[in-house]
Structure 1
Amino acid sequence: MVFAYDTEAALLDAADLVNTAVDGEESLGTVAALSSFLDERQFTGKRERTRAELESVWNLRERLRTLWEVSESEAVAIVNQLLLDGHALPQLVKHDEWDWHLHATRPDAPLAQRIGTEAAMAFVDLIRGKELGRLRICDADRCSAVLIDLSKNRSRRYCDTGNCANRMHVAAYRARQAEKAE
């Protein structure tokens, strides 16, 4: 299934947000880190740049994380609540280098509300397309990062947070070499 580019971007942004707190590592620990995270993803709209705003994004991150761990009906309930909380009112917009895409909240809505609503809109497409199976947790040992498998053959197994794929491939290679040596 091919998703609209803004849906893919929102899904990847949601996964990146969830992965800012993985295995006890916090990479979104300051207001400055949040600003950098948002700048890298070209996230538009009002920002308060306060500790309270950062904490609201942390709370949202935990709500989003659950989407990788729940059934379809539970995901629907979470997505519907995010849309309700965000007072979702989808509109087509065009700005910066982005062509027409959806924004579902006003640009001056609270940051966590805007992020949550954009993520919810993307998860709507996953749910309607019966594609929740594309939400995965990294298969690497000692990694609990999340990922979105956007590959055509649904074969992606490892996250982008580190070098999990390389580490696991090297381990498999060494195991095969050790078997040959025996």
Structure 2
Amino acid sequence: MPFSHDMVCSLAAVADLINTAPETGGPDGLGGPTELEAFVKRHEMSVGPVTPADLDQVRSLRARFHEVFTAPDQATAVSRLNVLLDRTQITARLTEHDGFPLHVHYFAPGASPAELLAADCGVALAQLLVEGEWERLRTCAAPDCDRVFVDESRNRSRVYCDSRTCGNRMHVAAYRARRRA
């Protein structure tokens, strides 16, 4: 995908956030403040200490992002994302950090985790939709997996959330079915 480093990171963060939800087939990956702190650290988010209120806000945001990913069509995704962005305080700031060239962050310094995710990930999803790349928002094709991902393949052909787990499992099952036939 010809997207900036920050956009790729934001899209990965929003997919990872959604995949912490029990609805995607596992335990709640944001079961408490400790798990939210781990998420914040994993995605190198610049926020202060995580509070129980942050946890509730991020869980609510996670559900709204999931609705965008699972929209049946682009128009619905746009509508759902606009509702999310309407509730988001966006503060555009030019910044250079960690060896990356000048780019825009969409959250204010000192933003809470939910504010940072809503602004940064919301704008990344908006840019994806503007680029006409809505089809890249996917749900895993494995029948027992509901995890989401952003298809970054050149030809938009990725169908599994992880080729080493779901992809491999499905390929082995297909191979065994062919051998039995």
- AA partner of residue 77 (structure 2): A
Q: Give distance in 1, aligned partners of 2:54 and 2:113.
A: 7
8 Å contact from structure 2 (residues 107, 116) kept in 1? yes
Aligned to 1:44: 46
Instruction: Give 2:32's match in structure 1, choosing from 12, 30, 33.
Output: 30
- AA partner of residue 85 (structure 2): L
Deviation at 1:53, TM superposition (A): 0.8
Q: Give distance in 2, aligned partners of 1:27 and 1:162.
A: 20
Q: Give distance in 1, aligned partners of 2:63 and 2:94.
A: 28
- Please tell me whether residue 19 in structure 1 is matched to residue 19 in structure 2: yes
Deviation at 1:161, TM superposition (A): 9.7
Corresponding residue pairs, total: 178
Please provide the CA RMSD for this pair: 1.8
Aligned to 1:135: 137
8 Å contact from structure 1 (residues 86, 114) kept in 2? no
Deviation at 1:24, TM superposition (A): 4.8
1:54-112 per-residue CA deviation (whole Å, 9 max, x = no partner) reads 11100000000011122323322333333332221322212235443321121222220
- AA partner of residue 170 (structure 1): V
My pick for the range that moved more, 34-43 or 68-77, is 68-77
Instruction: Give 1:113's match in structure 2, choosing from 108, 115, 126.
Output: 115
8 Å contact from structure 1 (residues 82, 117) kept in 2? no
- AA partner of residue 159 (structure 2): R
TM-score by length of 1: 0.89
Q: Give distance in 2, aligned partners of 1:35 and 1:52.
A: 13
% identity of equivalent residues? 37
Aligned to 1:59: 60
- AA partner of residue 76 (structure 1): V
1:24-51 per-residue CA deviation (whole Å, 9 max, x = no partner) reads 521210111111111011111333x221
Aligned to 1:10: 10
| CA pair 139-167 structure 1, distance change in 2 beyond 3 A | same
8 Å contact from structure 1 (residues 91, 102) kept in 2? yes
